[in-house]
Amino acid sequence: MPESALGNWLKGLREDRDWSLRETAQRADVDHAYVYRLETGAKESPSGEVIDKLIKALTPSARDAEILRLLAGQPNIDPALAGFARINPTVSFQEFHMLTTVVNRGARPDYATSLARIRKFMLE
């Protein structure tokens, strides 16, 4: 199955609650198979209504909810970038959004260096 940033983020939020796919789907009033397809990357770009239901059920922080909404609308974001932000909660939504626009011309992405540059730019 293809990996997606949205799927990884959603799965992380679900696992933070220690919920099964079925429990998450039931609490969100969304089909569990659809939640599975979102998590695995088989489906991308869910409707705003589905995202709203998932956010209401999972009750993530404001930052995590904003990032989930962004990922739902931009399916081409690198899953590794989402993983970087998941393990580094100091990355704000604004910084994450800026990181999604950084172009790594042929080089392997170095999100920590890019984040440091963004933070430096924001201070100036």
| pLDDT tens, residue by residue, 44-75 | 889 999 999 999 999 999 999 999 999 999 99
Q: Assign residue 18 the CATH number of its domain.
A: 1.10.260.40
Provide the residue range defining the domain that includes 47.
5-123
Could you give the number of structural domains in the chain?
1
CA-to-CA distance for 2 and 26, rounded, in angstroms? 25
| 108 pLDDT tier (thresholds 50, 70, 90) | confident
**CB proximity list for 95: less than 8 A, separation 6 or greater:** 115, 118, 119, 122
CA-to-CA distance for 35 and 46, rounded, in angstroms? 10
